[in-house]
């Protein structure tokens, strides 16, 4: 078995990936932040461009009080393009991470960005 065959075996199907994301979410809901972080980190390691795994990893870091790590993952998830309104919640995650790191002015700006992106609509 060569390296390419091993890599192909490691790739998850979409349904497997969704199941693992749901398991991680359940870990978070049950207060198992370390388990959730470990699971989401593994998913990000398998696919660095997986936005949902990266967002989930940021949420797990926030649950554990790891603001700097959360910021790193949120910034990678947001990227350099403006967010569509459906992704406005990322601004709130960013605000929480900034608040945890003591950057209150930036946290307030992130809340304003959330509001501007339509985050206050119900």
> Binning pLDDT at 50, 70 and 90, where does residue 10 land?
low
Distance CA 107, CA 30 (A): 27
- Quick: pLDDT tens for 53-96: 999 999 999 999 999 999 999 988 887 777 777 788 888 999 99
SS3 content of the chain, % helix, strand, coil (to 5): 75, 0, 25
pLDDT grade for 1, boundaries at 50, 70 and 90: very low
Superfamily of domain 3-116: Tetratricopeptide repeat domain (1.25.40.10)
Report the C-alpha gap between 6 and 20 in whole angstroms. Answer: 20
Q: Please say whether the beta carbons of 58 and 43 come within 8 A.
A: no
Confidence of residue 122 (pLDDT cuts 50, 70, 90): very low
Q: At what angle do helices 51-63 and 33-46 cross, to 10 degrees?
A: 150
Mean pLDDT of the chain: 87
51 burial (CB, 10 Å; 0-12 / 13-18 / 19+) is middle
**100 versus 87: which is more confidently predicted?**
100
The pLDDT-based confidence of 121 (bands split at 50, 70, 90) is low
Q: What pLDDT does residue 9 have?
A: 57
């Amino acid at each position: 078995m060569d390296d390419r065959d091993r890599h192909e075996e490691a790739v998850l199907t979409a349904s497997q990936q969704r199941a693992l994301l749901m398991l991680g979410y359940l870990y978070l809901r049950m207060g198992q932040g370390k388990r959730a972080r470990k699971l989401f980190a593994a998913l990000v390691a398998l696919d660095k461009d997986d936005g949902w795994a990266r967002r989930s990893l940021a949420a797990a870091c926030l649950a554990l009080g790891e603001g700097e790590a959360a910021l790193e993952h949120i910034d990678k998830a947001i990227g350099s393009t403006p967010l569509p309104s459906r992704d406005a919640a990322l601004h709130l995650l960013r605000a929480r991470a900034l608040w945890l790191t003591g950057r209150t002015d930036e946290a307030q700006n992130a809340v304003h960005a959330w509001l501007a992106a339509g985050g206050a609509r119900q």
